[in-house]
């Protein structure tokens, strides 16, 4: 009998046994036996070849024949595309179906036992998709079961198509590092959304030039900020001051009585006790440093607003960990303290709140520029007097009539959101980060314009979150603030916050000028709407 044929039959018999033939031998046992056989037969062949008194000759003797057959059978079994030793690149081949059972039987086995879907014949795409559709394999388990994040996203897309009857062909799959987002940015991904990125500038800020990346689908926005940057640069640039750098987290605890709640409040706010609490907090992170604790009572509920510096990270997780440690320490002296929530909304995160407008959250920045009268006329196409009047009537009085909370501006959230998406920030935090008051006044006997924006709650970071993604990291790199600052921890995040404020300053200047000059509709019809759509739209 041909040796190769014999080896193939032995390997097929082993696979049949492993696949659930007459003897239900687990795959790890057959793999182990094959490996042992390969090692022993290889050692025996090497010994025979090196033995001068007993050279390996053909035809083979009984012992030599058995050794060669065992080695060939082991190799065929371990390296066969249908074997359980090494997974196949295309497991749905005819040879696999012939030697490993029908595809329908394999799919049924996979649906009944989804825990076996990890590579090999059991991990065929069709089986996995069927298991997800049937509910036998939860979609969120795909990454851990397959060990391949891109493949998990691809199979999840197909399962979604079968369950809903609708495809997502327009949603890109390739081009995203799915391993990078695992456990950090997004769960159960099926692709990514394309967002155009424009560049405005250069923005001349604090003596440096920045080309500002903005991810947006609103035409005219980048062009408007670009015009504002041009006007500011032509007038000597903008200047910024960072007033405060403190992220906050405010847990809420309940005490048995208002007296006990007041006692805990006094304990936490006492200066000598604060030093001890700060030491406990600061042990949780190299960069998180507790700055203060401010408390508020509502009945027997106590809200403790912790504020701390967080280095180059935006810092929510960092602060939460430190707060958790402090609460554990306080439990020793106040065992009757009941933690209701690690976040009691007194923080306040992703909500318009007066506490952020007054006390600040994240980075508090003020940015200003003096725009020359000639630049106002030549670049912005309006006058200083019109801009000052418009700002008072619209941004100050108009927002007051509307009862705005931190919304004394023209469109700060436009610029903040575009920059946040481009640089990997949390877009939902544009709610408090966009709180801004824009001020304008005539200076130099009315000849020039002084403009400023005050933004008390810019929440940004250059490490963590979406900053790890390639596109967002590239935008941060364009600004020169990618990653942590090794020489001065926190400096990159602070610079990014000033860039946000400077860009808002440019955007406010340009939009208000367009409104003062009556050019808003004309500009949007030019940049925000294709001319070929205008006749059809007007006729409808």
Identify the band that residue 306 occupies on the pLDDT scale cut at 50, 70 and 90.
very high
Rounded to an integer, the average pLDDT of 234-238 is 98
User: Cα separation of 122 and 82, whole Å?
Assistant: 10
Q: Which residues contact 344 (CB under 8 A, 6 or more apart)?
A: 250, 251, 252, 301, 303
User: In this predicted model, which residue has the larger pLDDT, 227 or 113?
Assistant: 227
pLDDT digits (tens, 9 = 90+) for 311-366: 999 999 999 999 999 999 999 999 999 999 999 999 999 999 999 999 999 999 99
User: Cα separation of 327 and 342, whole Å?
Assistant: 9
What is the SS3 assignment for 417?
helix
* CB-CB neighbours of 144 under 10 Å: 10
145-149, 200-204, 507-511: which range is least confident on average?
A: 145-149
Identify the band that residue 231 occupies on the pLDDT scale cut at 50, 70 and 90.
very high
Q: Which two tokens stand for residue 278?
A: 């700060």
Query: Mean pLDDT, the chain, as a whole number?
Result: 85
Given a contact cutoff of 8 angstroms between Cβ atoms, the answer to whether 517 and 380 are in contact is yes
Identify the band that residue 97 occupies on the pLDDT scale cut at 50, 70 and 90.
very low
The reported pLDDT for the residue numbered 60 is 59
pLDDT digits (tens, 9 = 90+) for 30-75: 777 777 877 787 777 777 676 655 555 556 566 677 777 777 777 7
User: In this predicted model, which residue has the larger pLDDT, 30 or 264?
Assistant: 264
Rounded to an integer, the average pLDDT of 287-294 is 94
User: Cα separation of 261 and 292, whole Å?
Assistant: 19
Report, as residue numbers or ranges, the catalytic residues.
218, 350, 426, 524
pTM, full prediction: 0.75
User: Cα separation of 353 and 432, whole Å?
Assistant: 8
Flag whether pLDDT at 454 surpasses 80: yes
């Amino acid at each position: 009998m041909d040796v190769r044929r014999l080896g193939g039959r032995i390997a097929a018999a082993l696979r049949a046994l492993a696949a659930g033939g007459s003897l239900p031998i687990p795959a790890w046992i057959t793999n182990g036996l094959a490996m042992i056989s390969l090692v022993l037969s290889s050692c025996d062949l090497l010994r025979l070849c090196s033995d001068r008194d007993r050279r390996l000759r053909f035809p083979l003797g009984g012992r030599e024949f058995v050794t060669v057959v065992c080695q060939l059978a082991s190799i065929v079994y371990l390296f066969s595309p249908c074997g359980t030793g090494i997974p196949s690149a295309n497991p749905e081949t005819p040879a696999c179906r012939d030697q490993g059972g029908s595809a329908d039987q394999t799919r049924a086995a996979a649906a009944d036992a989804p825990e076996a879907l990890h590579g090999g014949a059991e991990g065929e795409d069709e089986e996995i998709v069927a298991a997800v559709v049937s509910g036998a394999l939860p979609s969120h388990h795909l990454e851990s079961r397959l060990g391949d994040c891109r493949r998990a996203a691809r199979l999840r897309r197909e399962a979604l198509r079968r369950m809903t009857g609708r495809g997502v062909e327009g949603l890109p799959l390739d081009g995203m590092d799915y391993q990078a987002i695992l456990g950090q940015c997004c769960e159960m991904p099926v692709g990514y959304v394309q967002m155009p990125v424009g560049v405005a500038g250069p923005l001349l800020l604090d003596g440096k030039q920045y080309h500002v990346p903005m991810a947006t689908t609103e035409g005219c926005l980048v062009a408007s900020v670009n015009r504002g940057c041009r006007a500011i640069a032509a007038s000597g640039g903008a200047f910024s001051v960072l007033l405060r750098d403190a992220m906050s987290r405010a847990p809420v605890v309940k005490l048995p009585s208002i007296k006990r709640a007041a006692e805990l409040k006094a304990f936490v706010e006492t200066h000598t006790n604060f030093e001890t609490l700060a030491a406990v907090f600061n042990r949780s992170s190299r960069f998180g440093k507790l700055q203060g604790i401010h408390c508020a009572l509502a009945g027997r509920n106590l809200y403790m607003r912790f504020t701390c510096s967080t280095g180059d990270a935006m810092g929510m997780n960092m602060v939460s960990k430190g707060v958790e440690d402090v609460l554990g320490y306080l439990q020793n002296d106040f065992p009757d303290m009941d933690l209701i929530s690690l976040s009691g909304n007194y923080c306040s995160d992703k909500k318009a709140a007066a506490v952020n407008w007054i006390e600040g959250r994240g980075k508090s920045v003020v940015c200003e520029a003096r725009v020359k009268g000639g630049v106002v006329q030549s670049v912005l196409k309006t006058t200083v007097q019109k801009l000052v009047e418009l700002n008072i009537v619209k941004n100050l009085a108009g927002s007051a009539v509307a009862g705005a909370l931190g919304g004394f501006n023209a469109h700060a959230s436009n610029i903040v959101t575009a920059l946040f998406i481009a640089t990997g920030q949390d877009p939902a935090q544009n709610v408090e980060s966009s709180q801004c008051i824009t001020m304008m006044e005539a200076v130099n006997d009315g000849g020039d314009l002084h403009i400023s924006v005050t933004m008390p709650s810019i929440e940004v970071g250059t490490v963590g979150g979406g900053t790890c993604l390639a596109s967002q990291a590239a935008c941060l790199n364009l600004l020169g603030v990618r990653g942590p600052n090794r020489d001065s921890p926190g400096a990159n995040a602070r610079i990014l916050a000033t860039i946000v404020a400077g860009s808002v300053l440019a955007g406010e200047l340009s939009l208000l000028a367009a409104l003062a000059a009556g050019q808003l509709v004309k500009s949007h019809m030019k940049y925000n709407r294709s001319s070929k759509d205008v006749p059809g739209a007007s006729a409808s």
